[in-house]
Structure formats: C-alpha cells, structure tokens
Structure 1
Amino acid sequence: MGKNVSVAAARLKKPSWKDPRLLIGLLLVLGSVAGVISLVGTADRTTQVFAAREDIAVGQVVTEADLAIVKVRLDDVEAGYVTVEHGLTESRVALQRVAKNQLIPQESLGVADALDRKPVAIALEEELPAQAVPGARVDVWVSMPGSSRAFEDPEMLLPSAEIAGITTGNTTLGSAKTTVVMVLVTDAQMPKLLGAQANKAKISVVWNPAGVVR
C-alpha cells in the first residue's frame, strides 16, 4: 500500500524546468508558432502594381488615369514591373502594346524618341478577317497604279506589321463602309508606304497567322 502511494505521488509531482519532456514540448510549441507566423508572412508578401484599365497602344502617352492598382505576389520578378511604390514617371509613352488587365512591364514604357515604330492609318473598303485585331500581325500588300487605269501586280510592302488599332466608319458620301487599320511602321518602311498612299495605290491587308517577319 505504501509503495502504491509513493508511485502515485511521483506521478503527481510538479514537473521541473529541467524535465526534458517539458523542454521538448515547449520547443515543439514554439516551432509550430514560428511556422504559422512564417506562413502568414509569406502569404501576405504582395506588392501593389499597375495594370492596364484598357488596351494601351504603342505610342500612347500613359498616365495613372489609364491604370488600375492591383495586389500581386511577384517575388524575384518585381523589378520588371511598374509598382505603386516607385510610381509612374511623367511623359512616358508605350513602346509596346499592353492588353487590358495586364501588368505594366518596365520595358513597355519609355520616351517618344525611343519609339522604333509609329502608327500609320490605312483605309480599307474590304472586310478584315476576324483574326485581325489589335496586337495581331498582318502583311500589307500594295498594287501601284499602271497604265489604262489598271493596277500592277501586288507586292508585299510590310511583312508582319503589328495592328495598333482598328476603327470603322463610312466614306464622306456615306455609301461605303471604311475600315481604318493603324499599323506600326518602322522609319525605314515609312517612305514606301506613304509613297504608295500618295500615288493612290490599292492597299490590302492579309492576316499573318505565323505572326513573324518572313
């Protein structure tokens, strides 16, 4: 009987700080708490960045009115995007097209002098294919006026030109529907295109599904 009492008393004895079981238990609790704090901190590591409210065309002056603020987790690629913390520099233009809701890459903005392509309007009376939308690539063909009111054989003038924008309307007489396609043209290509337009050449736009310069 006395032996049983002694055993029970030993079990009910208040644990000491030196008890290895107590130390192990405290370490497990602390480790668990630290893990939860680390997980929460990692999950909340988001950055406020700018995104396009609507499509942004090449050459367009970009202001904060054109942008929305979103919170995303970028980690190591954060430096590649325009963040709210660093702000948007004034007088920046789009050097490349940015689609609606896309984040704004740093390389997509610059100064007007850095533009290597400029939008030129091409008026067409023919219907464009459904795939010819802003951002798509098209080949621009021209047929120069010949003798006896005929046109010469068509030649490709602009291979894989990017569409910057499309508008539709009517001619001045209102009898024909006209589509105006804004294509991006380099300075080297500009004289030929402007010359073809000045000479009233027949200009056609063909969708280029490959999307690359041939």
Structure 2
Amino acid sequence: MSSAQRSAPRFLNTRPARPAPGRLRRPTWKDPRLAGGLVLIGAAVALGAWAVNAAADTEPIYVLTQDVAPGADLNADGVLALVDSHPGTTAYVTAGDLPADAVATRSLQAGELLPSGAVGAAGDVDLRSVVLDVASSLPAGTGAGDVVDLWALPTAPVAGQDAGSAEIVAQGLMVSSVGEVGSSIVGGTSVQVEVLVPQDAVADVLTAIGANGSLVLVPTGQGQ
C-alpha cells in the first residue's frame, strides 16, 4: 500500500440505521383507549335515554284560568285548565282528583297551580253568595278576593224628620266578582257585585237589600 493511500482519511457512515417499519397492531378489547371510548358512548346513550324518559314522564295538573274568591265553584266552566307537570309532589291537584263539590277555601289568582290545601267541599265553607246592586262604583283595582264592608245609606228625608245617617250592615265580606254598571231602581247608576257573606250575616244583608236605601261597598284594603 502506498504512502498516499495510507495517509488518506477514511470517512465513516455515522447516520443511524433506519429501523424496519413495524406492523400496526389491531386494537383489541384490552386496549384502554378503546374501552374508554366505549364507556363514553354508553354514558351518552344512557343520558339521552334518561332525558327522553324524564321529558315524557309528566302528568296533567290543574291551573287557574281566572281569579277566584273563597267559596268559588272550582268545577264551573272556565275556572280551571290542565297543564303537564313532572310528578313527585302532592302539593297540587292532578287531573281526576278534583271532587265534584270542590270549592276554593281561599283566594286564588289566574295562572296559579291549584294547591291541594286550597280545595274544600262546598258544605265546609260557611259563606253564602249574594249579589248586590251598589249605588257607587268601587275604587279602581277592586276585584275578586278583596274584603269589603257593606253600608246602607239613609233614605230620602221626610218633611219634619232628620235624614238619618249611614249604617254599617255587615263587615268582612269577600268580593267574588264585579259585574257591569247599570241603572239603579232609585235613579242614577249601580254596579252589580257578587259578595260572599258569612252565614250569620245573611239575614242582615238581605234585609238591607229589601230596604229603600242605597247600598255601598267600602274596601277595607285587605284581601286573602
């Protein structure tokens, strides 16, 4: 070997050898990624099924379509409607559970679900419905559920006698409904108002209706 050949540098190939391509493994049931994916899919399916069942699991309950006062007949036309609600509570009356003689035991407002505790039998409510023709209009905003006092105005004075003064007939009457304005028997205008009268005051109220004096309802500012 010549001296030139001995002195020539030798370059070694330092590039690492490329490993032979490995064969892709097919996922197996023991692969944790596959198992985790199946668990998530199962949970999503179960959650969707629960949501569908929960949405379908409803029952019809009663809702008030108008304001009512104590003693009002809950089976009367237009008083109640049905809405779907989720079960699990006995606080409200469900369809089919309303007694035939059901009345409200307290004032209820339109849009309110019918509470079980506000329903009673007609014989249990010591109130009687009486329609009055009152001589003057009620203050604005007065309606069903408001408490009023009934006053009788004195009749026209007779010559040589005092005109007298207004007298209270009954207190704590409940307004059931307010009708339209009409003409009174003694002239002028009147308003027809249905009130709920305690049984022990019915005689006094009917006596006042039969008298010649005009009747006036005075709100007490209370309601139930």
| TM-score exceeds 0.5 | yes
Match of 2:125?
115
Preserved contact between residue 147 and residue 174 of structure 2 (Cα < 8 Å): yes
Q: Hey, what's the Cα distance between the residues in 1 that align with 2:223 and 2:109?
A: 17
- % identity of equivalent residues: 25
Preserved contact between residue 179 and residue 193 of structure 2 (Cα < 8 Å): yes
Residue 32 of structure 1, aligned match among 28, 33, 44: 44
TM-score by length of 1: 0.73
Residue 181 of structure 1, aligned match among 177, 193, 196: 193
1:13-32 maps to which residues of 2 (within 5 A)? 13-32=25-44
Preserved contact between residue 163 and residue 184 of structure 1 (Cα < 8 Å): yes
Greater C-alpha radius of gyration: 2
Q: Which moved more, 1:196-205 or 1:106-115?
A: 196-205
Match of 1:171?
184
Match of 1:103?
113
Offset of residue 124 of structure 1? 1.1
Match of 1:158?
171
**Equivalent residue letter for 1:209:** G
Preserved contact between residue 135 and residue 215 of structure 2 (Cα < 8 Å): no
User: Alpha carbons of 1:63 and 1:165: their partners in 2 closer, same or farther (altered >3 Å)?
Assistant: closer
Q: Hey, what's the Cα distance between the residues in 1 that align with 2:193 and 2:78?
A: 26
Q: Say yes or no: does 1:126 pair with 2:139.
A: no
Preserved contact between residue 135 and residue 214 of structure 2 (Cα < 8 Å): no
Match of 1:205?
217
Q: CA RMSD in A?
A: 3.4
Higher helix proportion: 1
Match of 2:21?
5
Residue 146 of structure 2, aligned match among 136, 139, 150: 136
Preserved contact between residue 133 and residue 184 of structure 2 (Cα < 8 Å): no
Preserved contact between residue 145 and residue 175 of structure 2 (Cα < 8 Å): yes
Does the residue aligned with 1:83 lie in a helix, a strand or coil? coil
User: Alpha carbons of 1:63 and 1:138: their partners in 2 closer, same or farther (altered >3 Å)?
Assistant: closer
TM-score by length of 2: 0.70
Match of 2:7?
none
Does the residue aligned with 1:34 lie in a helix, a strand or coil? helix
**Equivalent residue letter for 1:3:** P
Does the residue aligned with 2:19 lie in a helix, a strand or coil? helix
Unaligned segments of structure 1, at least 5 residues: none
Q: Which moved more, 1:27-36 or 1:195-204?
A: 195-204
- Report Cα offsets for 1:119-146 as digits up to 9, x if no partner: 2222212121121122223233345779
Does the residue aligned with 1:23 lie in a helix, a strand or coil? helix
Q: Hey, what's the Cα distance between the residues in 2 that align with 1:200 and 1:101?
A: 41
Q: Hey, what's the Cα distance between the residues in 2 that align with 1:153 and 1:68?
A: 44
Offset of residue 154 of structure 1? 4.0
Unaligned segments of structure 2, at least 5 residues: 1-16
